[in-house]
Amino acid sequence: MGCSSSTAAKSAVPPTTAGNDSGRLAAGVPGASSSGTPPGNAVLPYYNLATLGGRQVFGPFLKLVSYDADTGDYEITALMVCSAMAQGSILGGDVPPQLVWGEAPGSGAGEAWPHEYSAGPAGDYAQPAGATNPEQAFTVVGSAVGERLAVWRDWQFWRFKLGTTCGEDPKQLKYKVDLVPGRVFTVSVPALTEAWHAAFYSCNGLHNPHDYGRTHGIQPLWVDLMRQHSFKPYHVMLGGGDQLYNDGLFEGPLLRGWDQAQDDAESAARAAQPLTDELREEMEEYYFSHYAAHFGTQPVYADALATIPSINTWDDHDIVDGWGSYPPLIQNAPIMQGVFAAAQLFYLLFQHHTTQERLAGDGYWCDSSSQLVQLGAATALVVPDQRSHRTQHKCLPPGYLQRLGKELRALPASTRHVVVMLAGPVLYPALPVQETLQKLDDVATGDDLLSVVMQKTGLAAKITKRFGMVFILDDIIDQWSASQHVGEKAALLRLLVSVADEKQIRFSILSGDAHCAGYGMFHSRPADVKPGDADDVPLPPADTRIADAGFIPQVISSAIANIPPSRPLLKALCVCGRKPEAVPHYEDLVQRMFPLFGPANDMDSLLLGRRNWCDVVCGAQGGSLDFTLRAEREMGSEEVNVFTIRVPPLLRFWQQQ
């Protein structure tokens, strides 16, 4: 119970059980080579249809729709995206595509992953010969005709529904789509009583194409993830935001530099510009092309999306940096509203297999992509949408907390854990300079003192402005710890604690966004400690935390691909995060970061500045929830260290074990 950490030794073969302490990725395989052509995972500053190189079929991409803990009914959807021309030539006419599926016994141990990738000298991952699954015979038990969700230009979005009923033993769902001849895909479906196995990731891209060489792009940790999948299969993949970085939008022919307004007058002039058809076309082409390239053409990530059903939320970069945290003048400007509409159109299609009109019918809440999905009998996943209705003063959609309370109180009695997947962490150290900056909404570019502070902390090499705001001010206002959001954070925590107490459910928070790994927690403030003295509260012992409905652990896992913040900034954050404190506006709770990583990995142990993702076992030993952070040892090294946090259920269930 509580938390533990370990440092991995290099190991040639990852162990086959959860809670493992080491992992090393596969060495190259014969036949794998760098082709010399542009790498599959290249990061381009700007995307348009020409970027796709003539490719006209993308997918399949899977989404987990629902699991019914009472009946065992399990439903997923597959999405295919293709041009009308390709569809016509593959299917021999204007007929809707079809998907068929069958079932095979699953051992629960996964199937050997037939794909081995190796990085070439340029860091690109070559797809070796034989990586395409050979045609596998299976007995067809179901079929689905594609439902056309949308047509953009002549590109078709086809959705297929498939499912099964979970039984005594795990299964493999085998499926093929006639748009991808010769390929069979396998999905691992858990047994009725099995602990679901989830893979969480966030921040799946790079801001700067020049970082590609030293990082080896997005692939190294995706190879680690898929190797783990072959040892112990994942039932679901959780995208915690920034599944792709769309900031290149402002590199387009018409939009280049549009966001670089340096003062209020310039910002106001841009905000007054109309959204023309040409601008809308450029925006839509950018988002479509980037999604198709990022989801559909990278060898390892595309395999994951085709074989592990996803549940996603979005963060600002799925739209554009800082979305929701700009002043109303900017947010409401016709061009920015056009940006949002284009981002949302393709976010809903690619990441949720739905459209704005279908949201409510497809089980989403509050005119947003917010949802709740059961992950096995004992665990539910809450996914708030923190971007669709975000403003400088509000993170969550209107009416969200009321709806959440209602849904949580209606959870099946078997539920012991609820994981809240938040794009941005609610608990994260804040630098004092952030408060100062927040008060200064009129800081002149080049202000000497501020420049020095920012350079020393690594916050920015120099001060620039975006929409007339200091460049990083949107990032600061964007955090839950910003003064604008602390009330909403307290309201969310109050709801979680009251439901935890009422229903004896343990809540955990899983978040991304920060580009480092971290562990922290909320717990009840001892009655004999005044709120102002909370910085002296010792860590409650594990047996106290078990019985505490206010004990809400928070795991930060970020980024699977993007580069970590500078060491000076991380160090400053660790110094600021050392002391526990009473939660503003909810002083019954104490919030504290926890030194998980050990001095060998991080000087202050609170934040780990290495790329990482998180393995989650929903119902491990004693009914616990096990989070295992898998952090790259060195950038692009293909070796990981692992750190496990074991979260017990609330006392009542713990005693029943």
Residues near Fe ion (CB under 5 A): 203, 242
* Residue whose CB is less far from Fe ion, 296 or 564: 564
Amino acid (one-letter) located at 642 = V
Distance of closest approach, residue 610 Cβ to Fe ion, in angstroms: 15
Q: How far apart are CA 582 and CA 486, in angstroms?
A: 12
C-beta of 241 vs 619, nearer to Fe ion: 241
Of the pair 244, 419, the CB lying nearest Fe ion is at 244
- The token duo for 48 is 């348009």
Smallest gap from residue 246 Cβ to Fe ion (A): 11
Closest CA to 347 of 387, 381, 374, 309: 387
Which residues touch 512 (CB under 8 Å, ≥6 apart)? 200, 201, 202, 203, 240, 241, 242, 315, 423, 424, 556, 557, 558, 559
Query: Closest-CB residue for Fe ion?
Result: 203
- Pick between residue 333 and residue 559 the one whose CB is nearest to Fe ion: 559
| Least spacing, CB of residue 204 vs Fe ion, in Å | 8
Q: How far is the CB of 628 from Fe ion (least distance, A)?
A: 21
The rounded distance, in Å, linking the Cα atoms of 559 and 221 is 10
Q: Are 326 and 392 in contact (CB under 8 A)?
A: yes
Check if the beta carbon of residue 458 is closer than 8 Å to that of residue 554: no
Task: Report, in Å, the least distance between residue 202 CB and Fe ion.
Answer: 7
Cβ–Cβ < 8 Å for 39, 244: no
What whole-number distance in Å separates Cα of residue 58 and Cα of residue 642? 34
Closer residue to Fe ion, CB minimum distance, 26 or 203 = 203
Alpha helix stretches (DSSP H) within 323-399: 328-331, 334-346, 352
Name the minimum Å distance from CB 261 to Fe ion.
Answer: 23
Question: How far apart, in Å, are the Cα atoms of 150 and each of 79, 117, 279, 558?
Answer: 11, 34, 21, 32
**Token reading at 294:** 């990022």
Shortest separation between residue 364's beta carbon and Fe ion, angstroms: 23
Which 3 state secondary structure label does DSSP give 182? coil
Query: Shortest gap between Cβ of 562 and Fe ion (angstroms)?
Result: 5
Q: What is the DSSP letter of 320?
A: S
Question: Residue 250 or residue 654: which is nearer to Fe ion going by CB?
Answer: 250
Q: Which is nearer to Fe ion, 222 or 522 (CB)?
A: 222
Which residue number, 77 or 243, has a Cβ lying nearer to Fe ion?
A: 243
Axis-axis angle for helices 264-271, 334-346 (nearest 10)? 60
